A and B are shown apart, each in its own frame.
Chain A
Amino acid sequence: MGTLENPVLRLVDRARRRSAWLYHFNAGACNGCDIELVACLTPRYDVEQLGIRLEGSPRHADILCVTGPVTRTTREALVIIHAQIPDPKVVVAIGSCPATCNVFAGSPMVAGPVDQVIPVDVYIAGCPPRPHAIIQGIAQAIELLVAKKEIDP
């Protein structure tokens, strides 16, 4: 599937590239990465000009942004919310915590890094990452979103 010669498919690819809606899930972050993600929407960085929008409902989203290490209480919620996002979808792990648990590693409250719970497509490093880095990571995620043609089971 997906020869780019078909004009309809080309239009769909173009639309996916220009209209990525994010859902932000705080799995137990210290709020540092959350602030940096919201900073991307401010006049200085203005990601809305790329068609990116922060959505309140996972049902509307294309990209799941996870911040923080997965705690024992958010583990199940993360699985449910990941399942609620319609395909095609991409998961972005923002900051060091979702990748490695960072300073929270070894805590009895922490269930582990995000990729032990749901598959992660893009990691953005930093504690917290700068808005530039987040925008770059989201741009990579959008390219992955366009490339994803098949349904993830």
Chain B
Amino acid sequence: MNLLRALFALLVFPGLVYALPMGWLMLGSERRVVARLQGRVGPPLSQAFYDFVKLLAKWPVARTRLDGLLFTFLPLLALGSSLGALALLPVLAPTGNSSGDLILFVGLMEMAPLCAILAGFASRSIYGEVGATREAILGISSNVPFLAALLALAYASGSLELARIVLLSPWAVRAPALLAILCCLPVKLRINPFSVANAEQEILAGPLTEFSGPRLALWELAHAMEWVTLSGLVAVLLVPLHRLSQPVGALAFILASFALVPLLATLAAATARLKLAQATRFLWRWAALAAAIAFATAMASRFWRA
């Protein structure tokens, strides 16, 4: 029963069957909203899907055996772990007893950026290496407030289970924690003020410079999964899904996830790229402040309850 439920979560909802079209739709609508804000028509909403198919149908560049293995394995790992993290989100069984566990979620979530860093260094291209370095520095800076916010939530609810965290954490903790997570969202999705690691016009495509054809397609897909997972995390924390019946809850989850896309796209269109030092300074100052407030209120709420 539990295995069946886990398989359903991984393969159907909120896993593969939901996440693939949703990821493509999110990427497509992000580009379209940015285009509209710049006074352009923009690509069709299905653009990311067509990009994926086209990349898949390109002939791969011949590589040495080890490089080929590495270049295929890293994006696959990134894709699989993002999908796994998504499947752990307590969407359909929000009343507890789901096996989704915070530590596993964070581990899977952090796999994709780690794979991108490894891919950048493995490519041995100068652009890849610079991009990977930037990704690593930004990753550390964004993970401190991100993980602190999640820990504050866990501490306030007294559990490491995602379902219980979503159910029990009080809003005094949840609001600043969400703020910290929202600050980290554009960093983790590498969109505009924080598109330091994949800075086009500067270091080509960052860690993915040397990837081509089907392997690049896998990366694009992994990136789409990151969109779905991170916006899903915010949706789960923001919408009281446990008060809704299952189909309505699922619908509310989908709508809330998707509502983040125009917000992030507006941010991306309205801002220019920050320098690495500016981006890290913002994270250490403001996102960390929100996370610290979340932590303080979490401790206060535990103290009150005791």
Contacts and interface: CB of A to CB of B under 8 A. Distances in A.
Residue from A14, A43, A60, A88 with most neighbouring chain B CB atoms (10 Å): A60
B80 interface: no
Contacts of A43: 38-40
Residue from A14, A43, A46, A56 with most neighbouring chain B CB atoms (10 Å): A56
Interface in A1-55: 11-12, 14-16, 18-19, 43, 46, 48-51, 55
A56 B43 CA distance: 19
Interface string B213-240: 1001000000000000000000000000
B: interface residue count bin: 20 to 34
B50 A59 contact: no
Interface in B102-143: 127
Contacts, number: 85
A62 B43 CA distance: 17
Contacts of A86: 58-61, 212-213
Contacts of B42: 46, 48-49
Given A48-B40, A56-B209, A57-B204, A11 B51 contact: no
B210 A16 contact: no
A18 B53 CA distance: 10
B47 A19 contact: yes
A144 to B, nearest CB: 15
7 contacts: A18-B44, A19-B53, A48-B35, A49-B41, A50-B43, A59-B212, A84-B61
Interface of A: 11-12, 14-16, 18-19, 43, 46, 48-51, 55-57, 59-60, 62, 84, 86-88, 151
Interface of B: 31, 35, 38-44, 47, 49-54, 57-61, 127, 200-201, 204-205, 208-213, 216
Q: Which 6 A-B pairs have the closest CB atoms?
A: A56-B204, A15-B53, A59-B212, A15-B54, A43-B39, A46-B40
